[in-house]
Structure 1
Amino acid sequence: MEAAHEEINKANEDDVEKGVVNSTPPIRRRIWLLRLLPAVVLQAFTLTFLAEWGDRSQFATIILAAREDPYGVTIGGTIGHALCTALAVIGGQLIAQKISVKNVTLLGGLVFLLFSFTALLHSPDSE
């Protein structure tokens, strides 16, 4: 990618030396958002936003905001979610140092399969 940036910038410099005016800004200026926010930030935002949208904790937060101060609920919810996410990231990093990602993925898949089989065997009405 760096080589491509260098070639584009060199081509732009050559055009300026030849007197050719290029109205297209250099690629570095066009992708300022991607340079400002690394791809992992956009991926984490999208994953978190989609995972949280419409879950039970969001509905509980909506009800709490209807009864209490919405600004306080916003601040408390943001801090709570940030701490929970930070603990998940730190815990995940510690686990990844001890166990391979492949093993964690397999274990997670097996746990979800176990949950699905349990859900098939037990009806919601039985206790």
Structure 2
Amino acid sequence: MTFVSEIGDKTFFAAAILAMRYPRRLVLAGCVSALIVMTILSATVGWAAPNLISRKWTHHITTLLFFGFGLWSLWDGFKQGGGESEELAEVEAELDSDLKANGKATKDNNSKIEDENKKQNRPFLTQFFSPIFLKAFSINFFGEFGDKSQLATIGLAADENPFGVVLGGIVAQLLCTTAAVIGGKSLASQISERIVALSGGMLFIIFGIQSFLTSVE
């Protein structure tokens, strides 16, 4: 579920575009770290939910979330055409404006490359304090707030084994982000948002039906 939700998500496109402009290992480390932290936090919230709300209500809320997200994704899929990804262009425009706002114009590319070459000679842990790592981390972390995959993770952890939810979510996030970083913009531009939205919608509906037919323990 997380894989289908994330493969055409805004954070997927952001990772692909950032990997075209900055060292891939720093982008990958920042993006994956943010998504792992968000997955653990979301699962923790879901795990704590039954202690605040009865198990019966959390089960019903999770079922409604699945059906709601499924219908939402199907609606998005039917609305979208078969053209190029509008979200990819939107994310790219946001990153471009962010670079200009921070004074990261193309004239600074040479000095930026030199700085990164110097950083590669430093100890491995010190590279985590790189502005590129922090930028990739913040974009993906805050980009996940309110996302379907985050809310679905909370719902799943409230109704299922939270350790399994965390493991499945982290593996899916790692696969999607690695594909985005390695494949780059060319891979992102070939993804059909309509197919992804329809597939994700059907998957959410299936999980909703499974949750509806499952009795509350």
Scaled by the length of structure 2, the TM-score of the pair is 0.29
Scaled by the length of structure 1, the TM-score of the pair is 0.45
Which gives a bigger RCO, structure 1 or 2 (Cα 8 Å, sep 6+)?
Answer: 2
Larger radius of gyration between Structure 1 and Structure 2: 1
